[in-house]
């Protein structure tokens, strides 16, 4: 079940909210848990059992660690290690076993050895997100950064919370613990949540889905020309942003309807003046998770400069693998890790930071470097990425071929222009900041008036999006596959 489906919009969500509204606050958490499992099981009921097992492990480990840490610290540490290992092993099996066997088979074939038996494993949807949330709960209880829940239902509902279950944002238990104990509905939050949900829906259906044919057509070419490679990459960059930030907006909006405030996940990332800033603005919940549970435990920047560079590279390679079991994701992570290490080296040597050289030039350079990385992210394999890079350099020709030209509709091209106007120029669309409070500074007067106008415009835009979603074929969110 997805947020843009008619089943969710006209059956699941109205039924859920009707029951949620009449229940006493204390009982709402249980209803969230029941509904979230129904939401997840709609896809594959059998994988809901795996989901439940991961939740039981997280709760049991958290309870044991909290109880034993003061008196038997060593035992508590062993239990935590076993719990984290079990969660990561589950993720590794379902997400990387097939990739590992295929890579080993390719190596053996190159050495003249016999082929390995093929392995085919179905990837449980959302496993990357709920495993990371389970780990964060266990580790935060160990660090005493989050309270150990006295009720299993609270932890289970936190991990299963359907607004952000499938594709994030990744939330921390400490931010929801008090709200989960007694979820409260609030009139202003309901209005804000509805507006935020409609905004995300429009971003997904009216923009991201309209850009998909351009990106898909360009990346389907075996040897794209310069125009085709660049227009395809630009279309994919905008599609990915509006698709994933749209999902995040819808998740945040649904959270508000339930009385929860999730942290923001995007803050105009394509306006970043460095790759470091980009990762402070793009998929912020993942960036924070990698920082707190991987980069800092590896030593962060507390050790030697060379170790810091290695840590940055390693964390981003792992972040790339988290997105998908493929060498293109490894290369994408290595690309960003190398750029982060270079920026860190510049700062360590007292060189001017990129954004201090020239605001516009730094932003243009950063956006270009991000686009180069998105080619890897979108390509099927390294050879395919190489063909796109050759096209970007003009090695496959310059002009638009008839093979792609007939697929470029006026609507999709106009949407591409509108998408980048929304990305690069001041708009009435509410934009979060990267501050820890996730609040915005007071907007100028014109923007305040424009935001109020947008509130009224969202209703007809949402209605148009509904008609498009019903009429068009199913278009899943891009991050569902991660």
365, 351 Cβ separation under 8 angstroms: no
The SS3 assignment for 395 reads: strand
**CA distance linking residue 322 with residue 96, whole number of Å:** 10
Which structure tokens are listed for 463?
């209605």
Q: Buried b / exposed e across 219-249, counting CB within 10 Å, b at 16+? A: bebeebbbbbbbbbbbbbbbbbbbbbbbbbb
C-alpha separations of 223 from 196, 331, 373, 381 in Å:
41, 21, 18, 14
312, 340 Cβ separation under 8 angstroms: yes
Which structure tokens are listed for 403?
């093979």
**CA distance linking residue 248 with residue 86, whole number of Å:** 28
446, 288 Cβ separation under 8 angstroms: no
Assess whether 283 carries a catalytic annotation: no
Across the chain, which distance is largest between two alpha carbons, in Å? 73
Dihedral angle at the C-alpha atoms of 437, 443, 447, 448, nearest 10 degrees?
80
Taking alpha carbons only, the member of 367, 359, 304, 311 closest to residue 338 is 311
Taking alpha carbons only, the member of 84, 166, 145, 178 closest to residue 288 is 145
Sequence-ordered list of residues with C-beta below 8 angstroms from that of 165, at least 6 positions apart, any chain = 36, 39, 40, 126, 129, 130
Choice among 175, 283, 323, 384 that is catalytic: 323
Name the residues annotated as catalytic: 323
């Amino acid at each position: 079940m997805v947020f843009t489906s008619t089943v969710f919009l006209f059956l699941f969500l109205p039924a859920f909210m009707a029951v949620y509204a009449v229940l006493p606050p204390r009982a709402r958490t249980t209803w969230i848990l029941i509904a979230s499992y129904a939401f997840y099981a709609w896809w594959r009921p059998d994988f809901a059992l795996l989901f439940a097992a991961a939740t039981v492990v997280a709760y049991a480990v958290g309870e044991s660690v909290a109880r034993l840490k003061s008196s038997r610290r060593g035992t508590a540490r062993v239990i935590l290690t076993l719990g984290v290992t079990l969660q990561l092993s589950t993720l590794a099996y379902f997400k990387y076993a097939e990739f590992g066997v295929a890579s080993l088979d390719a190596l053996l074939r190159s050495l003249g050895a016999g082929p390995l038996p093929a392995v085919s494993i179905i990837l449980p949807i959302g496993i990357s997100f709920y495993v990371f949330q389970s780990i964060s709960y266990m580790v935060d209880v160990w660090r005493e950064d989050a309270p150990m829940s006295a009720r299993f239902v609270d932890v289970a509902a936190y991990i299963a919370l359907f607004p952000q279950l499938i594709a994030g944002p990744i939330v921390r238990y400490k931010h929801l613990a008090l709200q989960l104990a007694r979820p409260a509905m609030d009139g202003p939050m309901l209005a804000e949540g509805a507006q935020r949900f409609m905004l995300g829906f429009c971003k997904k259906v009216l923009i991201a889905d309209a850009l998909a044919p351009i990106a898909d057509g360009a990346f389907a070419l075996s040897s794209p020309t310069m125009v085709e490679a660049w227009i395809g990459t630009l279309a994919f960059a905008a599609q990915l942003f509006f698709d994933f930030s749209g999902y995040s907006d819808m998740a945040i909006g649904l959270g508000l309807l339930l009385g929860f405030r999730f942290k923001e996940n995007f803050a105009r990332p394509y306006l970043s003046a460095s790759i470091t800033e980009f990762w402070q603005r793009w998929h912020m919940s993942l960036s924070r998770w990698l920082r707190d549970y991987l980069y800092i435990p590896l030593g962060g920047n507390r050790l030697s400069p060379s170790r810091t560079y290695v840590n940055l590279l390693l964390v981003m390679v792992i972040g790339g693998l988290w997105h998908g079991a493929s060498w293109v994701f490894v290369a994408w992570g290595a690309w960003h890790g190398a750029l982060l290490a270079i920026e860190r080296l510049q700062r360590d040597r007292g060189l001017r930071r990129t954004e201090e050289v020239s605001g516009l030039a730094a932003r243009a350079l950063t956006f270009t470097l991000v686009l180069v990385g998105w080619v890897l992210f979108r390509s099927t394999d390294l050879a395919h990425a190489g063909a796109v890079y050759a096209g970007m350099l003009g090695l496959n020709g310059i002009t638009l071929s008839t093979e792609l030209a007939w697929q470029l509709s006026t609507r999709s091209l106009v949407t591409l222009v509108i998408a980048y106007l929304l990305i690069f120029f001041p708009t009435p669309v509410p934009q979060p900041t990267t501050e820890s409070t996730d609040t915005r500074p007071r907007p100028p007067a014109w923007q305040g008036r424009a935001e109020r106008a947008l509130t009224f415009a969202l209703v007809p835009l949402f209605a148009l999006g509904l008609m498009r979603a019903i009429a068009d074929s199913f278009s899943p969110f891009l991050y569902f596959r991660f």
